[in-house]
């Protein structure tokens, strides 16, 4: 029997297991099928790398991203594991196949489309396979945010080698996706091991976008360490980089449109730096191990709670205090819904649920961490003491009346004007546009004044988030499916007021 603690120490240099690693490795050593759900940074790779050296035979790792694979390959080789990969960019196929057959490999990385082919299956028949590790296992589920049809074809491969244990790994799986992984990959329920998702050293904060370049410049000025800013598009990364480079900090960018050499150089510079701000699309970060990232900011709405958790989770892996800031706008929700409408109908339900979950996260006046952890199936305390809402509980108020005025102004002006015009109508502004369209003659003209004026922006945001308003293709507003219950007085609209400091700043800017 192999001496696991000795291997852990001698090969990987770790004094002990972390979290659920020992449970997972223990099951694999017993030959039991396992699904390990462990947050990013929890040390998933060790869960198969250690068995790969402890067990007789080769561990086959199925991994969807070649770049990620090669990072892990290098890391494994660096500690002396006999590892190789079979991908489209590898040139030493024959040698790798010979080593596999000759029992000279501990670890073999392959992409799913390769793994499910008949050629690969017959290769495995001539080798000694010790373990199948399926990385990013959420890709097997249509519920997951990253469905890959090839993952569906893994089951026959796994079943052809019934004596070989299988280990599915993922950082991101809501209850639905988990269930799917178990079924699709043939893993019994008791084989599911979930690690704690809380990252207590990360302080979460969410802000409506309001002059983003300035908001980011303030954030960067207050946080001297390395940081990542995620932007929704390539163009946005370039634009933000330009404005942030004036803040006196080294800035770099990363997105899929850059030359691969530039990308690699930028990434290396960031990893080596102690104060660089990396502005990137979500193409950046997978497989990157930089423990001292002090903040992660999102310039727009992430794709899902899972995505947000994973991306923001790149902050503070060293356990020291770190921050995660999310800047969102109502238009993010509008755009996401438009994208969903163009999807295959079968996928729309899952995507809608993802957007609703994000809506709950950004709109809440309660603990952000609690919302995140509940999403991952945990039962956290109601307050964490380390998020914006726990540190400065925001005031909330019933804005149902204002919301109804807003919705009826949208309706009465013909459902084609933007928020700015609607606000002008409601506050009784005198503009050419209003006069020409006769909008000064409708009943809602000028029915909002005084303090209520300040509520119009947050109210329109709240209405967009909950699908009571939708955007037209020309950027105007129209009523959405959730407008009716609000107009009828069946549903309340509560809004959270931003903390005092931000409110004053905004007031100073507009007033
Ligand atoms: P994941 O794939 O879950 O995001 P990794 O496998 O990349 O995480 O591991 C994250 C970091 O944790 C790596 O730097 C790794 O070396 C380190 N690590 C993993 N297991 C242990 C352990 N038992 N003790 C100390 N450090 C560990
Ligand atoms: Zn909290």
Q: Which two tokens stand for residue 292?
A: 């001292």
| pLDDT number for residue 498 | 65
CB 109 within 8 A of CB 96: no
> How far apart are the C-alpha atoms of 150 and 156, rounded to whole Å?
12
Q: For the chain, give me the number of helices (H) and strands (E)?
A: 23, 17
Distance 159 CA to ligand 1 centre (A): 30
DSSP state of 393: P
Q: Which helix or strand (DSSP H or E) is residue 295 part of? A: strand 295-298
Q: How far apart are CA 190 and CA 262, in angstroms?
A: 46
Residue owning the nearest CA to atom 2 of ligand 1: 44
Strand ranges in 304-378 using DSSP code E only, listed in sequence order: 322-328
Distance of CA 118 from the midpoint of ligand 2 (Å): 51
What are the angstrom distances between the C-alpha of 72 and each of 45, 79, 125, 287, 308? 8, 11, 25, 8, 23
**What's the 232 CA to ligand 1 centre distance in angstroms?**
28
User: Distance (Å, rounded) from C-alpha 69 to C-alpha 287?
Assistant: 9
Q: How far apart are CA 178 and CA 143, in angstroms?
A: 9
pLDDT of residue 510: 35
Structure tokens at 138: 């959420």
**Is residue 397 within 8 Å of residue 413, measured between CB atoms?**
no
Instruction: Quote ipTM for the complex.
Output: 0.97
- Reported pTM: 0.69
| Cα 21 to ligand 1 centroid, rounded to whole Å | 10
pLDDT of residue 507: 42
Mutation choice for ligand 1 from 46, 138, 287, CB with most ligand atoms inside 8 A: 46
| pLDDT value of position 110 | 95
Cβ proximity of 409 and 463 under 8 Å: no
Name the residue at shortest CA distance from atom 27 of ligand 1.
43
Number of residues written out for the chain? 511
pLDDT tens digit sequence for 136-152 = 999 999 876 788 999 99
User: Which atom from ligand 1 is nearest to the alpha carbon of 21?
Assistant: 23
Provide CB contacts within 8 A for 16, sequence distance 6+: 5, 8
- Rounded-to-integer distance, Cα 229 and Cα 58, Å: 39
pLDDT, one tens digit per residue, over 101-111 is: 999 999 999 99
- Looking at residue 306, what is its pLDDT? 84
Alpha carbon 208 to chain centroid, angstroms: 18
Question: Which sign does the torsion angle of CA 6, 7, 13, 17 carry?
Answer: negative
Query: How many A from CA of 197 to the centre of ligand 2?
Result: 14
Ranges of H-type helices in 173-297: 175-185, 212-222, 234-245, 260-272
Low-confidence ranges of the chain (pLDDT < 50): 502-511
Which ligand ends up closest to the CA of 369? 2
Identify the burial level of 503 via C-beta atoms within 10 angstroms of its C-beta, where 0-12 means exposed, 13-18 middle and 19 or more buried.
Answer: middle
Q: Which atom of ligand 1 is nearest to the CA of 75?
A: 16
Distance 9 CA to ligand 1 centre (A): 13
| Cβ pair 358, 303 in contact under 8 A | no
Residue-level pLDDT at 499 = 62
Q: By alpha-carbon position, which residue is closest to atom 16 of ligand 1?
A: 43
157: burial class by Cβ within 10 Å (0-12, 13-18, 19+)?
Answer: buried
Alpha-carbon span 64 to 497, nearest angstrom: 43
C-alpha–C-alpha distance, residues 121 and 212, integer Å: 52
- Going from the Cα of 366 to the center of ligand 2, the distance in angstroms, rounded, reads 7
Nearest to 11, CA basis, from 58, 59, 75: 75
In the three-class reduction of DSSP (H, G, I as helix; E, B as strand; rest coil), residue 366 is classed as coil
Considering Cα of 410, then 413, then 416, then 419, what sign does the dihedral take?
A: negative
Q: How far apart are CA 234 and CA 236, in angstroms?
A: 5
Residue 503: the pLDDT is 47
Counting atoms of ligand 1 from 1, which one is nearest the CA of 15? 24
Q: Is 453 left (phi over 0), alpha (psi -120 to 50) or beta?
A: alpha
Closest Cα to atom 23 of ligand 1: 17
Q: 482 C-alpha vs ligand 2 centroid, how far in Å? A: 29
Instruction: Find out whether 60 and 111 touch, Cβ atoms under 8 Å.
Output: no
Query: Quick one: pLDDT at residue 265?
Result: 97
365 C-alpha vs ligand 2 centroid, how far in Å? Answer: 10
Specify the ligand 1 atom closest to the Cα of 8: 23
Strands 227-230 and 251-254, by their bridges, are unpaired
Which protein residue has the closest C-alpha to ligand 1 atom 12?
43
Cα–Cα distances in Å, from 165 out to 60, 61, 197, 443?
11, 12, 26, 70
Residue 509, pLDDT score: 40
CA of 205 to the centre of ligand 1 (A): 26
Query: Which residues form ligand 1's pocket by a CB distance below 6 Å?
Result: 14, 17-18, 21, 38, 40-46, 289
Read off the DSSP letter of residue 102.
T
Q: For ligand 1, atom 20, which residue shows the shortest CA distance?
A: 43
pLDDT value, residue 500: 56
Query: Do the beta carbons of residue 297 and residue 319 sit within 8 Å?
Result: no
Q: Whose CA is nearest to atom 18 of ligand 1?
A: 43
Q: Which residue has the tokens 């904060």?
A: 205
Nearest CA to ligand 1 atom 26: 14
Neighbour-count burial for 35-68, b at 16+ CB within 10 Å, e otherwise: bbbbbbbbbbbbbbbbbbbbbebbbbbbbbeeeb
Q: What is the DSSP letter of 497?
A: P
Is 177 within 8 Å of 144 (Cβ atoms)? Answer: yes
Query: Which atom of ligand 1 is the closest one to the Cα of 291?
Result: 14
Name the 3-class secondary structure at 184.
helix
3-state DSSP call for residue 339?
helix
Pairing of strands 192-194, 34-37: parallel
Report residue 330: phi and psi, to 5°.
-60, -30
In this structure, the residue with its CA closest to atom 5 of ligand 1 is: 43
């Amino acid at each position: 029997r192999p001496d696991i603690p000795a291997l852990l120490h001698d090969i990987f240099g770790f004094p002990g297991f972390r979290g659920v690693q020992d449970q997972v490795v223990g099951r694999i050593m017993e030959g039991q099928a396992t699904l390990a759900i462990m947050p990013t940074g929890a040390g998933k790779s060790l869960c198969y790398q250690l068995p790969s050296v402890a067990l007789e035979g080769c561990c086959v790792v199925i991994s969807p991203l070649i770049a990620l694979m090669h990072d892990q390959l290098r890391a494994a080789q660096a500690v002396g594991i006999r590892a190789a990969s079979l991908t489209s960019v590898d040139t030493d196929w024959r040698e790798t196949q010979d080593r596999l057959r000759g029992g000279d490999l501990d670890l073999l990385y392959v992409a799913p489309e390769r793994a499910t082919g008949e050629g690969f299956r017959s290769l495995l028949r001539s080798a000694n396979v010790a373990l199948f590790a399926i990385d990013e296992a959420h890709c097997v589920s249509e519920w997951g945010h990253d469905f890959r049809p090839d993952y569906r074809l893994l089951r026959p491969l796994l079943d052809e080698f019934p004596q070989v244990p299988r280990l599915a790994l993922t950082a991101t799986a809501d209850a639905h996706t988990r269930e799917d992984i178990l079924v699709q990959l043939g893993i019994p329920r008791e084989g599911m091991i979930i690690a704690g998702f809380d990252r207590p050293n990360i302080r979460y904060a969410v802000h409506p976008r309001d002059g983003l370049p300035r908001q980011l410049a303030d954030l960067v000025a207050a946080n001297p360490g390395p940081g990542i800013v995620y932007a929704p598009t390539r163009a946005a990364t370039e634009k933000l980089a330009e404005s942030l480079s004036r803040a006196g900090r080294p800035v770099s960018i990363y997105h899929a449109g850059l030359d691969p050499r530039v990308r690699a150089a930028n990434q290396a510079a960031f990893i080596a730096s102690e104060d660089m701000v990396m502005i990137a699309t979500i193409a950046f970060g997978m497989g990157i191990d930089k423990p001292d990232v002090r903040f992660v900011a999102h310039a727009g709405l992430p794709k899902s709670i899972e995505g947000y958790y994973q991306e923001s989770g790149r902050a503070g892996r060293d356990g020291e205090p770190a921050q995660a800031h999310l800047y969102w706008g109502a238009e993010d929700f509008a755009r996401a819904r438009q994208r969903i409408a163009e999807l295959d109908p079968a996928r729309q339900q899952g995507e809608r649920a993802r957007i609703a979950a994000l809506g709950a996260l950004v709109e809440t006046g309660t603990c952000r961490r609690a919302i995140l952890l509940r999403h991952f199936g945990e039962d956290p305390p109601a307050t964490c003491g380390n998020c914006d809402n726990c540190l400065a509980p925001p005031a909330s108020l019933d804005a149902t009346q204002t919301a109804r005025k807003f919705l009826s102004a949208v309706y009465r002006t013909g459902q084609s004007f933007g928020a700015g015009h609607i606000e002008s109508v409601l506050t009784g502004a005198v503009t050419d546009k209003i006069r020409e369209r006769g909008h000064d003659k409708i009943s809602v003209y000028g029915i909002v004044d005084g303090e209520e004026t300040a509520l119009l922006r947050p109210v329109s945001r709240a209405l967009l988030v909950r699908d009571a308003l939708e955007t037209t293709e020309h950027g105007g507003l129209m009523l959405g499916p959730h407008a009716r219950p609000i107009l009828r007085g069946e549903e309340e609209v509560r809004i959270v007021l931003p903390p005092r400091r931000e409110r004053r700043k905004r007031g100073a800017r507009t007033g």
